[in-house]
A and B are shown apart, each in its own frame.
Chain A
Amino acid sequence: MREYLTFRVNSSSELFGVELTSIIEILKYVRVTPLKIGRGSIVAVTNFNGEAVPIFDFALDSRFIEESKLSDRSSLILLKSDDNRLFALLVDEVQAIERDREKLIVINRDRFTI
């Protein structure tokens, strides 16, 4: 049975989920380097074990312009793309592990192009 890590964005009532097997690690939001001219929804980069990891703002908003809007619950979900490249998703709050796919909107990692 597949398991999904659930999270929320922009305090919406919708629950999103990403498959557990595609996740490398969940990181507590740390200081990142914002990109002034982002490519698509890539808003910043961060350092993970010496590797520059692009960060996608899942809500596709501009929260990085005003960092104060980020809460202490903001987290980065580190994923690996099909071509083994690391990237991170910025989410408002990770919740739990869910098995029931019906309860959430599943996000596929190939949705994000680096």
Chain B
Amino acid sequence: MEKVLDSLPDRLNQIDSVATQLNETAEVQNRTVNGIDVIIKDLTAILNHNFSTAKDIRSDFLEIFNRAKESLLYMSELHNDIKSIQDIIYQINLLSLNSSIEAVKIGDAGKPFSSISSEIRGLNDKAKSIIDRLDSKEINGKGVDENSKYVTESLLPKLNDSAKKIEELLNDKSKPLLELKQIADLNSILDDSIAKEQELSVELRNVTESFSDIKREPIKSEPKKESSEPEKKRAFKRDIVRKENSNNSISRKLVEF
């Protein structure tokens, strides 16, 4: 009992040190948890920002897609109109040639008629050269027809694919946010366990303090019963040994001190 009491201060010191370490660890963990919390908040904000940017890009894509479609439609209409005008020009040419043939058949009387036909052909040729120039207009080395084909077969499907990818990205929005929520939940569990650690360390301190109080209080010994003679002798010897040990312990502590 004496030995246990003697070692008690050391043990208490050890427990106190463990409690302090526990507390320090809990504080470090607490700081880490707070840091993770801030990171989660930042990540959530970044993700939300990215999703909002992706939404903007999708809307831009849709606008480009619709504009490209409209342009294509316009180009196609323009191309068809050019073809129609070319066809009309060709028919006017045939008409003027036929009128020249008729004028030749008439002979001298048809000469004025022939010259009118010739004038019509001249005007028709000018119109033809303008419309042919328009038809052969090139963008990036490609004609209207080729460009329309490129836009229809290559550009529009590419734009469509990209818009779909962005759409998929936006539909997956819940996934990373859900994972972040899971991290946040784990963090909160960790937070709870830190609180418990802190509580435990406080409890440990309380325990050590209560032990210290116990040590400071004098040990109340029960009144000794009358013992038989041999027992009395044995008790007397034990007392002597204890006193000697106690003296030794005090002197050792004094020396240590």
Contacts and interface: CB of A to CB of B under 8 A. Distances in A.
B202 interface: no
B145 to A, nearest CB: 15
B98 A26 contact: yes
Contact of B104 (A3, A25, A26): A3
A28 B92 CA distance: 11
B94 to A, nearest CB: 5
Contacts of A94: 93-94, 97
Interface string A23-35: 1111010000000
B97 to A, nearest CB: 5
Interface string A9-21: 0000000000011
B80 to A, nearest CB: 13
21 contacts: A3-B100, A3-B104, A5-B97, A5-B101, A20-B101, A20-B104, A21-B104, A21-B105, A24-B101, A26-B94, A26-B98, A26-B101, A28-B94, A72-B87, A72-B90, A73-B90, A96-B93, A96-B121, A97-B100, A97-B118, A97-B121
Nearest to A75: B94
| Secondary structure dominating the interface of A | strand
B87 to A, nearest CB: 6
Contacts of A5: 97, 101
A25 B100 contact: no
B94 A20 contact: no
State which size class the interface on B falls in. Answer: 10 to 19
B129 interface: no
| Secondary structure dominating the interface of B | helix
Interface of B: 87, 90-91, 93-94, 97-98, 100-101, 104-105, 118, 121
Given A3-B104, A20-B104, A21-B104, A97 B87 contact: no
4 residue pairs, one from A and one from B, having the closest CB atoms: A20-B104, A23-B101, A26-B94, A26-B97
A104 to B, nearest CB: 15
Contacts of A24: 101
A21 B107 CA distance: 10
Nearest to A93: B90
Nearest to A27: B94
B59 to A, nearest CB: 43
A23 B105 CA distance: 9
A5 B98 CA distance: 10
Contacts of A97: 97, 100, 118, 121
A26 B94 CA distance: 7
Contacts of B100: 3, 20, 97
A70 to B, nearest CB: 14
Interface string A41-82: 000000000000000000000000000000011010000000
A97 B101 CA distance: 10
A75 to B, nearest CB: 7
Contacts of B94: 26, 28, 75, 94
A110 B87 CA distance: 32
Nearest to A24: B101
Contacts of B91: 28
A97 B120 CA distance: 13
